[in-house]
Amino acid sequence: MKHSLPGKAGARGLGAGVWNLGPGRDPFGGPTRTEVPILHRLPLLAKAGIEYVEFHDVELPLHQISHAREILRQHGLRCGMYTPSFFADPVFQDGAMTSHDPKIRKLALDHACQAVDATVQLGAPVMVFWNGREGFDFVLAKNGQESFRRLVEGFNAVGRYALRKYGRRSPRLAIEPKPNEPRANMYLSNVGEVLYLISRLDPLLQPLFGVNPETAHSRMAGLDFLWDAEMCLEAKKLFHIHLNAQDTTRYDQDLPFGYAEPLKDLALCVVLQDAKWPGIMSFDVKAPRTDSAQDITDILTTSAENLKRLWAKAWKIDRRKIIRYRSERKFTALAGYLARCLY
Ligand SMILES: [Mn+2]
């Protein structure tokens, strides 16, 4: 059975990345489980109740797409998002669009354009860019002003390609901010910075570009994820969303959604319900290395159950009460009301 969010506008099914079901590698140790081949992960995702799956280009290259589409169809799955990897290949060790080397910047653009083609072939509504290696570990290693201009140039070039080739059929292009990891300091570190970058793109291309905020990435930066999501909504730029959980400002943990700050996650559900947000509620979580191969999808089922529970509770929250608490300036009482709704 596929998970579904009752009363949701647009896509009601849930999304997840094939990379969520990795072999348990971390920076300090090798795999703890046998690596499941990418296309063999599709039945596992389907069995865990996921409807929309996401791929990096290195996980599903162009030449495998027709085969993958067949497997997706067999399992009632759809592709929700596709993303070029600008981080895994050592050629991008010092960035892709912001590399000092024009040949590497050209390679990044080629990869991005191929990813647009792949996104179209998979029928996914959105393609995401994550700033993987765009940033610096040492000051003066890059000229920041020049790097920013290269990002503008790079995104403009991808947008022009998508618009010229696909016109109104072009997938929407979302940028996913993250403050650090793998680089010490990353460009496009938060939602505000991404919105600023979009405002600097060619005005004709700006409608193509939006944001993919992620719970853990906002919290790593010490920012409030709900405000980040609201900022995207206000700008009409919430193109996609990556849900998970995070213990304060540490390394990226990709914990199950709803685990660390359920009250804030409940408030997020209220905001998305009231905005009638039509996008795919998607998990970017990581099966921990301590979970066995048989339990590899626990991270997805736990996230989905938490989300469905919070979603249902959010519908029951009395919006008139929220308005009254606001107008009477009873914010602590409002927090108490939310807690009563949650627990
Ligand atoms: Mn993500």
How far, in Å, is the centroid of ligand 1 from the Cα of 315?
A: 26
Confidence of residue 189 (pLDDT cuts 50, 70, 90): very high
For residues 51 and 77, is the Cβ–Cβ distance under 8 A?
yes
How far, in Å, is the centroid of ligand 1 from the Cα of 144?
A: 24
44: left (phi over 0), alpha (psi -120 to 50) or beta: alpha
Average pLDDT rounded to a whole number, residues 59-73:
98
Name beta bridge partners: 130. Answer: 176
Q: Specify the pLDDT at position 331.
A: 98
Q: How far apart are CA 83 and CA 132, in angstroms?
A: 11
How far, in Å, is the centroid of ligand 1 from the Cα of 185?
A: 17
Fold for the domain defined by 14-316: TIM Barrel (3.20.20)
Residue owning tokens 């995702």: 45
Kindly report, residue by residue over 239-276, the tens digit of the pLDDT: 999 999 999 999 999 999 999 999 999 999 999 999 99
Question: How is 240-297 classified by DSSP, letter by letter?
Answer: -EEE-B--SSSS---BPTTSS-HHHHHHHHHHHHHTT--S-EEE-----TTS-GGGTT
User: N- to C-terminal Cα distance for the chain?
Assistant: 27
Average pLDDT rounded to a whole number, residues 144-162:
98
Q: How far apart are CA 121 and CA 65, in angstroms?
A: 7
- The contacts of residue 171 (CB under 8 Å, 6+ apart) are 82, 116, 119, 120, 124, 125, 126, 127, 162
Does pLDDT of 212 surpass 90? yes
Kindly report, residue by residue over 214-231, the tens digit of the pLDDT: 999 999 999 999 999 999
Q: How far apart are CA 293 and CA 295, in angstroms?
A: 5
How far, in Å, is the centroid of ligand 1 from the Cα of 327?
A: 37
How far, in Å, is the centroid of ligand 1 from the Cα of 190?
A: 13
The overall average pLDDT reported for the chain is: 98
Does pLDDT of 182 surpass 90? yes
Amino acid at 206: Q
The SS3 call for residue 173 is: strand
Angle in degrees, CA 128, 189, 131, rounded to 5: 40
How far, in Å, is the centroid of ligand 1 from the Cα of 214?
A: 6
The domains of the chain are located at 14-316
Q: Specify the pLDDT at position 274.
A: 98
Does pLDDT of 131 surpass 90? no
State the pairing for strand pair 126-130/135-136.
unpaired
Average pLDDT rounded to a whole number, residues 135-140:
97
pTM: 0.97
CA 46 to chain centre: 19
State the pairing for strand pair 135-136/185-186.
antiparallel
